[in-house]
Structure 1
Amino acid sequence: MEKRMFKVYAKNDEKIQLKVIPGHFVTSQSHITHYMDMTTMKTRCAEAGRIAAVLAQRYEATTPVDSIICLDGLEVVGAFLAEELAQAGVLSMNAHKTIYIVTPEFHQNGQILFRDNIQHMIRNRNVVILMGSITTGVTLHQCMESVLYYGGKIQGVSAIFSAVNKVAGIEINAVFHKQDIPNYESYHAQNCPMCKKQEKIDAIVNGYGYSKL
């Protein structure tokens, strides 16, 4: 898989490089033509910091943020984003005047949960949801419903890559978009042209990585 990899550079910071692997990949909601390898973006401090700096521009001095909900293993990016927002003077309305970094729990039935000891970081808080990749928006929609159920106020959604511009009327703040990836497409499993051509599946992928088949 890695031999076919190419890199896409962020328009507002060319030091941010997204590794892209073309092929036939399966997510929990769709089949996609490209896999975005974000491993180093999530684990290297320098890369995570640069991504956070780009994403923070949307919220600086305009949006109160109390909590950042991190999905897809983006806690490092989330911490840098919180630091960027704090330095930019973004207000946090909670009593501690700081930003919480929160990771939800996924129940085996797909439900997104926040345990009792975490719920106070959501209830009546201004929340930004942070994801690695948004393909169809299904997982994001589930997270938004969970945040609202626990009493949070969604102030924004950010992602490293997003194939959609809006979900539930909220514009996605992303570093990379669908148009940045040549010939990127996402299909419902029943309508996947790659499957119809009997092209083998290269890997099962999610926000944490891939498993070759």
Structure 2
Amino acid sequence: MSATTPQRVVLATRNAHKVGELRAVLAPLLPDVEVLTVDAFEGVPEVAETEVTFAGNALLKARAVAAATGVPAIADDSGISVDVLGGAPGIFSARWAGRHGDDAANLELLLAQIADVPAEHRGGAFVCAAALALPGGTSAVRTGELRGTIATAPGGSGGFGYDPVFVPAGAGRTLAEHSAEEKNAISHRGAAFRALAPLVVQALRDGTLVPPIHG
């Protein structure tokens, strides 16, 4: 790999937090990798998340961005899965209350839905699927999960989304009460990206990507 011409991957997001997390995962493995966002390219379309699984949506976005940019693309889809709700909100996590990205409304609705559920049945998990797609069409996906319980009220001022009500197993405090470093070390997204990293290494070094698609 040339020190003057870094290998590039594009992250199918405009979320700076995700870019920073992926860079942190890849840096020890490929210090010369340049992690870009879709903002670095012109004409990259917004990709509607029309699949019914995290893996399906992640693959959909990665394939579309790889095709549009000609650069290996990584995408993720994630959310919270609550046991007593049959795995919901799931892929609808970001718009559970009806409007995409309204964290306060999503939290309020989720807590109301399980208000009468006792502590021993408030289990759930954050789930993330991270996908890698090459411009030629080959793709793969890896998943990460963080088990825990749903608190009865929000706690902490860090994080975003459902972090204020999610208590990782054995932690005794919500994700919003963890530092960014602590959260990244245990998070579902970090786990998925770390699982995907060896495939990124392979793809950038020899231009191939070996199935399986899921794993």
Q: Which structure features the higher share of helix residues?
A: 2
TM-score by length of 2: 0.28
Q: Which structure features the higher share of strand residues?
A: 1
Task: Answer 1 or 2: higher relative contact order, Cα 8 Å, separation at least 6.
Answer: 1
